[in-house]
Amino acid sequence: MAVHPIDYRYGSEEMRRIWDEKNKLQKLLDVEAALARAHARVGNIPEESARVISERANTNWVTLERVKEIEAEIHHDIMAVVKALSEVCGEHGKYVHLSATSNDIIDTANALLIKESLDIVLRDLRELRSILKNLAREHKYTVCIGRTHGQHAVPTTYGMKFAIWLDEIQRHIDRIEQAKERFLVGQMSGAVGTMASFGGKGLEIQCLVMEDLGLKPVRISNQIIQRDVYAELIMILALIASTLDKIALEIRNLQRTEILEVSEPFGKKQVGSSTMPHKRNPIRSEKVSGLARVLYSNVIPALLNNPLWHERDLTNSSVERVILPESFILLDEMLKSMKKVLSGLEFFPENIERNLYMTHNLVMAEPLMLKLTENGMGRQEAHELVRQIAMKAFYEKKDLMDVAKESEEVRRFLSDEDFESLKPENYIGLAPQIVENVIAHIEEKEQK
């Protein structure tokens, strides 16, 4: 019976399958098999034993049902796996789990699960990057009003919005690629990390196992890989979630009835409300913002898992059973939802223009001030003069330029030609060039 929504509602089948009990069991068996092969290569066990263990270290031989049956008797999850594998290996079973401690298997298996999960996350990030790159290029000249503190500021472009998000997504890709060498590590270090149980061959065996599994060997551990590694991982996943939350929040605001510059795609048969048939709610973006809160909350337990008693205790274990699959599966849902939103984003050009001119050119106060300064008025004097003109225009509900033209002081410095140039569409600075610079940077990254 499914209880948690990640079992049936959130995340792709591909991501859920990685964290499924059966796949997690398979990863534990993969590590046990690699350990047996390493022992055989250094001459600790017969090659035939390593072959049989490797051949039978899979869920066709070692079933999840049998492992659970044993665990119910002995109350130890890894020993249940060891016993289940040993019993199907016959006389060769005596070499299963030789010299290892539980977390040699668990932490190394976790690295395999994390590796598979990060591959999906990176793929989605790259696809999202491509969508944003196209949007940035397409809308680099789409002029809109910029907002600070929720108030109209000065003009910007939609290309700038998309390029900012694009650049941020690239940083997340870079973060993951740079951190992989810290995340994708395994260990074979024994009970407290000294490798005493491996005799003098511990380092060699650890390297062989990790080479076999496509991981890097940890430099040093006690009984576990240190949990600052997992904390960094969860924080990066939460940071990605914060970017998706940022994008979703902007789209939700821009889709408000009073603004309605852009909108999530809305299906022909989609229902917005059970009682209000007219509703077009930004449900995907709201879901993204909501799920981000769960990922944020997983950062604290991940940090608390780092300080453990002495060489380790078990307080991290139960937490990681929850936050690792939950964080990856929920982020997977968020990424795929945001790809759908952005790839089908609907624009309302008439509303973009309406909002740009909504304040009757009050948003042109800065360029008006700068034009006065450019023509000889002192900057502070120009600021105060335009402030007074702006307040007059606001309270009298007049166009800023009309009020400015009535000012003798302004007229001393500005001609009709100057006023003609003071239009929102002309005040986007180097926005298109900035957007192109970002796109060029991204395309350079894509080539690597």
Catalytic site positions:
149, 273
C-beta neighbour count of 143 within 10 angstroms: 21
**Alpha carbon distance 379, 393 (integer Å):** 21
C-beta neighbour count of 204 within 10 angstroms: 15
Nearest-10 Cα torsion for 359, 362, 364, 366: -140
C-alpha angle 40/44/49, rounded to 5°? 50
Q: CB of 152 within 8 A of CB of 394?
A: no
CA distances (Å), 322 to each of 6, 236, 239, in order?
Answer: 11, 17, 19
Structure token pair of residue 244: 């998706």
**Alpha carbon distance 312, 335 (integer Å):** 35
Q: CB of 404 within 8 A of CB of 389?
A: yes
State residue 186 phi and psi, 5-degree precision.
Answer: -130, 175
Structure token pair of residue 101: 């401690």
User: To which H or E segment does residue 392 belong?
Assistant: helix 379-396
Q: CB of 248 within 8 A of CB of 147?
A: no
Structure token pair of residue 165: 């998000």
Contacting residues for 124 by C-beta, under 8 A, at least 6 apart = 332, 335, 336, 339
